[in-house]
Structure 1
Amino acid sequence: MAWFFVSVVVFMAGHIIPGVLRRPITARIGSRAYIAAFSVVSLFLLGWVIYEVQHADFIALWPYEIWQSHVTLTFMLPACILWAAAILQPCPLSIGRKIGFDLDHPGINRFTRHPLLLGMMLWGLGHILPNGDLVAFMFFGGSVIFAIAGFARMEKIRAKHMDEAEYKAILAGTRRFDLAGIVHGAFGWRDVMLGIVLYGAILWAHPYVIGVDPLGAMGG
């Protein structure tokens, strides 16, 4: 279990330190190179954490029931659609594309400024129930907290790179979370279609990458 905590500390450091040093790093290597390097390192560190979760001592908290896997699959579809929206639509105050945002047509930002983080929160919540051991609970529960904390943190980071008037206008015209945004053009057909493709790809790859078949776990 000790290596799990080590991997989590390194993972957190791998996000905090580059954020603090973003200006000098981007000044030296450029914004695109920074984003690419940060993404690769983040994925590597996340993979390390997942590996440690899978190999940590098993300390049961509650028994597994088939219905718990149904919860996971239900949560994952909207999570995938949110991730698709984060890829396809500009998110000026969060993780994702900064350019191309139109305040008159905020799109996903009318529902949430942070589709990638909200999707991560749903992913974490959806995986807690079928993984009823201590380390998995800390990992997925911690991911939920990390995602929620990221809402305000990302807004502060993005605020540093825009003038106050622009920042306040975007804040006023967007929402951290507002269900009404769903009926006000937050999602387009491309978001839904790409989300479904991501969902299918994750279901297919999960047994090979994680070692657990989600459909098999629910008797599918």
Structure 2
Amino acid sequence: MIALIAGLVVFLGVHLIPTRPDLRGRLQGALGAWGYKGLFSMVAAVGLVLIVWGKAQAPYLEVWAPPYWTRHIPLALMPVALILLVAAYVPNNLRRVVKHPMLAAIKLWALVHFVANGDLASMLLFGAFLAYAVVDVISAKRRGAAPQRAPVHPLLDVLTVVIGLIAYMGLMHAHAHLFGVAVIT
């Protein structure tokens, strides 16, 4: 459990640096733009490895027993989360409505998994990511970090949805192999 907690602190800690423009500016000034990005990426990668390894090694300590029906919540809402994730990278009109699609995707992913899992490690993992995304959205709104976006061709909206749904189908089939939990049987 210590590796999981350490990974969350490292990974989410480095991702909170952009919420502090003064700190980010000082680091970029000291390291240069590429040095900052390189260090950021290395620290985030170490944190991610610790999270994955720590979650895999964490003992199953049940905090609560989620009702059976909560297992269906991720099945219903993860397509939306993956479409939002794709919307953060593909130009589309959804970004004009959802100002921070990546953070919205993280919040939705974390929330549906938090509700569907009752073990301590899962609650730490998904609760930490949910808290991070909420803090980052609040910070982004205070910084005015959501740029206005011009309308784009509607076919890019279709492409965003199609890629998100393909990613969802792939993740459903690979979930047991990647995370040890079968989504479909």
Contact 2:17 2:24 in 1 (8 A): yes
Matched, 1:131 2:133: no
Give the aligned partner of residue 204 of structure 1.
173
Match of 1:188 in 2: 157
Cα 1:58–1:47 change in 2 (3 A) is same
Structure 1 match to 2:24? 21
CA distance in 1, matches of 2:27, 2:172: 40
> Which deviates more, 131-140 or 72-81?
131-140
For residues 54-75 of structure 1, give each alpha carbon's deviation from its aligned partner in whole angstroms, at most 9, with x where no partner exists: 3223221222554222111112
Which secondary structure does the structure 2 equivalent of 1:196 belong to?
Answer: helix
Residue 99 of structure 2, aligned match among 88, 113, 122: 113
Paired with 2:66 and 2:38, the residues of 1 have a C-alpha distance of: 39
CA drift of 1:39 comes to 4.8
User: Residues 55-70 of structure 1 correspond to what in structure 2 (within 5 A)?
Assistant: 55-70=57-72
1:75 maps to which residue? 77
| Cα distance, 1:111 vs structure 2 | 1.8
1:56-110 per-position Cα deviation (integer Å, ceiling 9, x unaligned): 23221222554222111112100000011111027xxxxxxxxxxxxxxxx2233
8 Å CA contact 2:66–2:117 kept in 1: the answer is: yes
Unaligned runs of 5+ residues in structure 2 are none
Residue of structure 2 equivalent to 1:97? none
What is the identity percentage for the equivalent residue pairs of Structure 1 and Structure 2?
Answer: 27
Counterpart residue type for residue 52 of structure 1? G
Superposed, 1:117-196 pairs within 5 Å as 117-155=103-141, 170=148, 188-196=157-165
**Aligned partners of 1:121 and 1:202: how far apart in 2?**
18
Question: Distance in 1 between the 2:38 and 2:160 partners?
Answer: 23
What number of residue pairs does the alignment pair up? 178
TM-score by length of 1: 0.66
CA distance in 1, matches of 2:38, 2:91: 19
Name the structure 2 match of 1:10: 10
SS in structure 1 of the partner of residue 116 of structure 2: coil
